[in-house]
Amino acid sequence: MEYDFDVAVIGSGVGGLCAGALLARRGYRTLLTETLDRWGGRFSTVEENGFLLPTGAILLHRNGPLEAVFKEVGVEFEVVNLPKTLHCRIEGKDYPMRLNNPLSLIDVAADLEISRGGLVRLGGSLAREIGKKRVLKAFGKGVEDPLGGGSNLTFREWLMQYTDNEVVHKVFDAIIVGVLACRSWELPASQFFYYMTRLGSLADAGVAPKGNVRLVQGLVDAVREKGEAWLNSPARRIVVKRGSARGVVVEREGREVEVSCRAVISDTGPKRTVELAGSDNFDDRYLREVRMRLRAGPAMLILVGSDRPVLPEGAPFLLIVGARRLVVGGELAILCPGLAPPGKHLSYYCGYPLNSLLPMEVEWEEIQCRRDLEEHFPDIREHGEILRMEAHDVDSELPGARAWPGYDMPPETSIRNLYNVGEGVRAPGWSGTNKAAQTAIEVAHTVSKVLG
């Protein structure tokens, strides 16, 4: 049997799903292939003892690229919004914090015995830096390249110009690692400022009440309206002829089949894309960029089932400052009861190692996460159990993030008609699922112009 499509999409993470659904909606014959036996990658759900457990992405954002894709392809984007005010746990006390304004922490300066005047000056400097990035963005100027020379202060170094108060530093570090998957002493300050230009969109974060897999299935169905979608079908090779991507070899039902197409989109990460297409087909500059740039972000995801809520009643979603590893935690079943069996509760926690450059010592990181859980949420011992503790390491097939902001790759490769999507691809100012969706929007636009 011969397989002939306009576009082949490898991988069904957010980037691959969105790119495939957009192109199918625009009338292109699209093939979506997935190695696993479920769709979605880190944007999916697995069922375990009646619990609907997220595989990675938990908080989704309204009014951004992800929801825009769902609207264009005509798929419902069912998300229950978080409260507008979350809480920040600092030195054992929980403070309210407006989701789109971390500097609301200034309001608790007196309790923390931090100079209010100093924080106000810091807030003014931060606002100026964000304002500069907004102006650059308005004129189509790109964010600074951390590998391109010039001022490459990390955010911690920038913050040291205004305060050496470790509480303030820990607050910003928790915010940064929680959303960008690398530490404040690793992230270029310019990347944080650029991210903050879009911070308003975070005010509409929420949770999929029936699990992410329900949203994923809608996108898969959209692909199938004009093409096919194959599970348990790993891509073995990208076919390159005369410098152009012309197809994909896929293992399907125990045998390899060659799919012809006019463009290939990979959601496997730029490094894996090089492996699939063969390094000899890329120019030296592109290969050098891949080696130098890509810095994945590690994370630990912990899911807990319990017979009662284990986070504080008034603070069910927490940013945790200064713990060994834990940075965020939230009660999912309070917001979306359908994620847990009747009478049960589901909570999640994310922990991050102190070094994002090297692979984790997983056993040690698990110990540190458990110690944090015991200290901050002691009710888990009596009323709950850890359902899953997963390490998404820098060298994992599904890391916490495929690239730090600024250390990602452009969507175009040095092979014609071969593109990358996902959060290992450049989309300044966006992170997580929104970043992956934004790359899909841009690549779908490019492919539509190329294919005509």
Q: What order of strands is seen across the sheet that includes strand 418-420?
A: 227-230, 30-33, 7-10, 263-266, 418-420
**DSSP β-bridge partners for residue 336:** none
**DSSP-assigned letters across all residues of 60-101:** EESSSHHHHHHHHHT-----EEPPSEEEEEETTEEEEEETT-
**Percent helix, percent strand, percent coil in the chain, to nearest 5:** 40, 25, 35
Two tokens, residue 178: 């929680």
State how far Cα 77 lies from the chain centre.
18
Instruction: Note the pLDDT of residue 1.
Output: 60
Instruction: Note the pLDDT of residue 195.
Output: 86
Which stretches in the chain have pLDDT values below 50?
A: none
pTM summary value: 0.95
Instruction: Note the pLDDT of residue 83.
Output: 84
pLDDT tens track for 378-437: 999 999 999 999 999 999 999 999 999 999 999 999 999 999 999 999 998 899 999 999
Contact in structure between 434 and 13 (CB atoms under 8 Å)? no
